[in-house]
Amino acid sequence: MEQINHGILVANAGSSSIKYHLFAPSGTTLLRAQYDRTSSGDTCTIEYGGRTNTTPSPKGVFSNTASDMSGLIARHYPGLSLASIGFRIVHGGFHLKETSWLTEEVMAMIDAASSLAPLHNPPCLDLIHAWQKHLPHLPMFGVFDTAFHATIPHFASTYALPSALEEETHIRKYGFHGIAYASVVRQLEELLGYLPERLIACHLGSGSSICAMYQGKSVDTSMGTTPLEGLIMATRTGDMDPGSILLLEEYLRTTYPEETEEETEAKLRHILSKESGLLGMAGTPDMREILAMEATSDRAALAVAAYTYRVRKYIGAYAAALGGIDGLIFSGGIGEGSDYLREKILSPLTFLGLAVDPEKNQNAEKRQSIGRASSHPIWVMGAEEDKEIFLEGLKLTGTQR
């Protein structure tokens, strides 16, 4: 039995949930915990020893999970000490392009990037500060969702703004879901013993994106400066003409003249980020509910058609950008969970050499392509983001598993 003296903790903070994953040095999962803030009260869900248990959290725990999580670890693993904590950070901005120790300088850069990810970076910064206060001498590192896309060439990342303005504002394509993409690339290489040269990965969930990869490196991706660009998502618009956003802003100013400029801007952000996408089209952000209504609801049918069309269009564009395709990966809750949508997305793409085997598609498993014998390989893989952050921590410290 593995003797465990210390562990690496992975933390992932959102506005209404904080997730923790405790790893042994070997990579074995020791404990998972998720703290959720809901309208009916806060809860904590613990996964330990093959069991899952959800209990109400006392008032104030969500704002101080560092102390509560330390207590959980001490109760379940007396004597275990933390070697480090790794944090998933959505936006590294222009400067942070690799896993980094969370020094004062790095923290300032993350804070500066908060304007590019106002819904994601601030909760993470709050959590880091809480842990630094709770365990000030513990090494802490950040893994950035944008870092994987640092290899995108400038001609693919530029928005063709005046060059001086681009240099001053750093407005360009950054891309997201990079930790997920790094994970599926690692898993595929472990599975095959090599990497197909030209890969397209579709990470489809409540937030969705696509990445074109050459020799395992990102060369383009559908999200941009912010996670709003690209595919239709649960509550986000995806691609929009910038002119139409200006028109929408003018409409809001005219319709609500009593609101301040800041209030109008906040309302516009909320519409684009929280009220659009599948929710805006079909009345629900849940693709499972939309699929259940597809046959009887025109709005649901439109949402499915628009969603799958957008994914298909990006696959075709990235196949062109790569000069062909040697394999395709589906990941994320929708990408892994819906054989129906995988087939609907790919059925018109036989001209690219992508054809789904119906039986394999319905019984998708990680180690087997769901493509027909004549097709390029098509894999369905879970994105092991926590594991990827853990492995990044080992690289940073030079530790071997």
If asked whether residues 214 and 339 sit together in one domain, one would say yes
Domain that holds residue 200: 194-385
Do residues 271 and 130 share a domain? Answer: no
107 within domain boundaries: yes
213 and 332 inside one domain: yes
Report the alpha-carbon distance of residue 233 to residue 225 in Å, rounded: 16
Domain count, the chain: 2
pLDDT in tens, 91-120: 999 999 999 999 999 999 999 998 888 878
User: Is the domain of 221 the same as that of 323?
Assistant: yes
Q: Active-site residue numbers?
A: 145
The domain boundary residue, chosen from 144, 164, 180: 144
Is a pLDDT exceeding 80 seen at residue 360? yes
Task: Note whether 243 and 331 are same-domain residues.
Answer: yes
Judgement on whether residues 105 and 239 belong to the same structural domain of the protein: no
In a domain, 246, yes or no: yes
Domain end, chosen from 126, 144, 162, is at 144
Contact 381, 332 (CB under 8 A): no
Kindly report, residue by residue over 323-354, the tens digit of the pLDDT.
999 999 999 999 999 999 999 999 999 999 99
Residue 199 falls within a domain, yes or no?
yes
Residue 91: inside a domain: yes
| 203/118 same-domain check | no
Mean pLDDT over residues 365-377, rounded? 91
For 60-70, the pLDDT digits (tens) are 788 889 999 99
Give the pLDDT confidence of 41-52 residue by residue, as tens digits.
889 999 999 999
Residues 127 and 230 in one domain: no
25, part of any domain: yes
Is the pLDDT reported for residue 1 higher than 50? no
Together in a domain, 100 and 202: no
Same domain, 262 and 338: yes
Q: State the CATH number of the domain containing residue 257.
A: 3.30.420.40
The per-residue pLDDT of the chain, averaged, comes to 94
- Report whether pLDDT(137) > 70: yes
Using CA atoms, how far residue 143 sits from 26, 78, 238, 391, in Å, is: 19, 28, 25, 10
**pLDDT mean over 190-218:** 98
**With bands split at pLDDT 50, 70 and 90, how would you rate the model's confidence at 399?**
low
Q: Is residue 73 part of a domain?
A: yes
Same-domain check for residues 82 and 218: no
Percent of the chain having pLDDT more than 70?
Answer: 99
Q: Which of 70-84, 115-129, 209-223 has the highest mean pLDDT?
A: 209-223
Q: Are residues 224 and 364 in the same domain?
A: yes
Q: What is the pLDDT of residue 385?
A: 96
Residue 333 counted as domain residue: yes
State the pLDDT at residue 38. Answer: 80
End residue of a domain, out of 105, 127, 144: 144
Structure tokens at 156: 């693919």
- For residue 159, tell me if it sits in a domain: no
The pLDDT value recorded for residue 59 is 79
